Chains A and B, each alone.
Chain A
Amino acid sequence: MMETIESLLHNYYYFIAVVLFVIGFHTMLTHSNLIKKVIAMNIMDTSVFLLFVTIGYVQGGRPPIMDAVTPPAGVDYINPLPSALILTGIIVAISVTAYALSLIVKIYKFYGTIDADEIAEIRGREE
């Protein structure tokens, strides 16, 4: 038990990322407001990005930028790969968000509401 708590405290950034993920997940599935769903989607994506970037962090590490001078011995660099991957991930998340928002604009035009429950009601009445 103590060990679990200790490792949680030690790796608190993983814990925070997972909490954010669950918040996003829950909001996305339970809220009926479409805009809130998109916001939750972004929270969820961001939490994964945070987790990913923290994996690459080395305690006391420097940004992995090489200058002409050879680095002094004993200096650690952080892992640049997760950060580079997450740049791609952010671009992907932006394009999905843009597409989702444009769909919401269209949905509002057709139904006059952005609430999923009301939309279901309108569709139920039509059938």
Chain B
Amino acid sequence: MPAIEHYPIIMVAGLLLLAFIMPLLYIWKRNWCEPVAIFAISVALVMSLCIIYEVVQGDAFEEGYWMGGWEHFGIEFKADYLSSYMLAVIHGVGLLILIYGIGDLKKELVEKVRGWYYTLYLLLMGAMSGMALTNDLFNLFVFMEIVAISACAIISIKEDRECLEASFKYLILSAMGTGCYLLSVAMIYMITGYMNLDMVGETMALGVGEYPLNILVAMSLMVVSFGVKSALFPLHVWLPDAHASAPSPSSAVLSGLVIKIYAVALVHILFRAFPMEILKEVPMTDIILWMSTLGIIFGSIFAMVQENFKKMLAYSSIAQIGYVFMGIGLFDPERPEETEALVGGLLHILNHAVMKSMLFMIAGIIIYSAGLKKIRDFDGIGNRLKWPMYIFIIGSASMVGIPITGGFMSKLHLAQGAIAVDMPFFVMVIIASSLLNAIYYMPIFINAFLSESKHENVTFKPVPGSMMIPVVILGGLVLLFGIYPAPVIGVLESAVESLIQ
């Protein structure tokens, strides 16, 4: 493949550049916007698949990519296993959400702002790829802020009162997270004098004995900052409103991808910048473990009492991001060779991205077609919206963790990992949470198919194919990753191995 070492920077710069051409295009050639955006993300998807192939097979990415050739001084992009995996997830799921969005946004957004939506979407995609790839703490901060602003903006672009308020709450809490992050970077820079993650890691290992307090404060600020941004349990307050009131494609991308990318960034920093000795001294992974456990249980309990379908899905996201953090928390620094839980947590990033964005799309389809938002109105819609509800069965089976779906595989790995580090209590947590998930997902489709229909006089708008096809593909992917997850797990095992070193 020609010039493959330049693919990461071409991808990020291209998406960001194209984002700013989009509004011009919207003035000039209105109906080009959607195809151009889809083309851009498809190219990015192909590139990220090439990168992942090259990372696994070749050696083009063994050295980092220094911007402008400023070796050891400039910003470094580094495509390792974890970031290339995340790139493929972002662009794969992002492409399907975008295709779905074309139909949905025609109804949800006013004509005037629809071009801007693609600007924000491409900005978000470009900045998320940047966050996955960058090896520089300050560069990460800049990408984080682009993600934060564009994520808030794709909520507030639908100008109704709920969206604006939710978006403001999200912005303030995310600014708090950014403040903590920057303070933490300042602490790290104070000790090490570097911004580059690898060099920070090397220097920090030398300075552990000398500046333990600085490292401790930096680490806790880091966990708080990424915890706020990815809605770790007690810091989740912004999520339900923001994800439930946004337009459906935005909800799908926010719940499916945006909260995960912060978790990936935390994994990168926690394992590469901070020396293993400090993780052994401080029970940071235990704290993350307990926060995630509370999130898993309480997220599900809050989800049970919701009436609004999208709000229920949003609370369920809090529980599901708990699994990702549980994978980090179950990592035992005393026994770094037991990595199965971490693999399970990282695998859940993919599985949850696929299934949650699919469920939000189904919620969007129900709103698009029948205008129904409350769960109790869903009785009997299974006969009218057959395919969406069939796929919903797959999605909820995966949420519960029934075998042959993706959700089962990640829960299996987490449970095995919990046993490997002698913490069988957390297997119980996983089982209890599966039961709770079953309690609130199962009745929806049972009622949808078996209850008396109350919708004789509601007209169901036909759902366009461009909205149905992505949902069907994602449904297929849920089953595929449940039946044949071996390649993904292979990549993740190498990823964890290279992180722990």
Contact = CB atoms under 8 A, between A and B. Distances in A.
A45 B172 CA distance: 12
A34 B179 contact: no
Interface residues of A, number: 31
A107 B189 contact: no
Nearest to A48: B182
B145 A92 contact: yes
Contacts of A21: 179, 183
A55 B192 CA distance: 11
B176 A48 contact: no
Interface in B214-233: none
Most chain B beta carbons < 10 A, residue from A55, A82, A95, A99:
A99
Given A48-B182, A48-B186, A52-B186, A111 B161 contact: yes
Contact of A123 (B142, B165, B183): B165
B171 A24 contact: no
A44 B165 CA distance: 22
Given A28-B172, A106-B156, A55 B179 contact: no
Interface residues of B, number: 29
B302 interface: no
B153 A41 contact: no
B162 to A, nearest CB: 8
B175 interface: yes
B171 A89 contact: no
A85 interface: yes
Given A48-B179, A103-B156, A110-B161, A55 B186 contact: yes
B142 A92 contact: yes
Nearest to B194: A81
A96 B164 contact: no
Contacts of A82: 189
Contact of A96 (B138, B160, B171): B171
Interface string B155-183: 01001111011011001100110110011
Contacts of B164: 103, 106-107, 110
A83 to B, nearest CB: 12
Contacts of B159: 106
B172 to A, nearest CB: 5
Nearest to A49: B182
B165 A41 contact: no
A94 to B, nearest CB: 11
A114 to B, nearest CB: 10
Nearest to A79: B193
Given A25-B179, A107-B165, A37 B152 contact: no
A51 interface: yes
Given A110-B161, A110-B164, A37 B172 contact: yes
A29 interface: yes
A119 interface: yes
A38 B223 CA distance: 24
B169 to A, nearest CB: 8
B165 A119 contact: yes
Nearest to A104: B168
Nearest to B145: A92
B367 interface: no
A59 interface: no
Contact of A52 (B148, B153, B165, B182): B182
B149 interface: yes
B171 A99 contact: yes
A28 B176 contact: yes
Interface in B450-490: none
Interface in A6-62: 21, 24-25, 28-29, 34, 37, 41, 44-45, 48, 51-52, 55
Given A103-B168, A106-B164, A107-B165, A95 B149 contact: yes
B190 interface: yes
A100 interface: yes
Contacts of B141: 89, 92
Most chain B beta carbons < 10 A, residue from A29, A48, A55:
A48
A70 interface: no
A20 B142 CA distance: 23
Contacts of A51: 183, 186
B362 to A, nearest CB: 24
B179 A103 contact: no
Nearest to B150: A99
Contacts of A41: 172, 175-176, 179
Interface of A: 21, 24-25, 28-29, 34, 37, 41, 44-45, 48, 51-52, 55, 82, 85, 88-89, 92, 95-96, 99-100, 103-104, 106-107, 110-111, 119, 123
19 contacts: A34-B168, A41-B172, A41-B176, A45-B175, A51-B183, A52-B182, A82-B189, A88-B142, A89-B141, A89-B182, A95-B149, A96-B149, A100-B175, A103-B156, A103-B167, A103-B168, A110-B161, A119-B165, A123-B165
Question: A-B pairs with the 3 shortest C-beta distances?
Answer: A110-B161, A48-B182, A44-B179
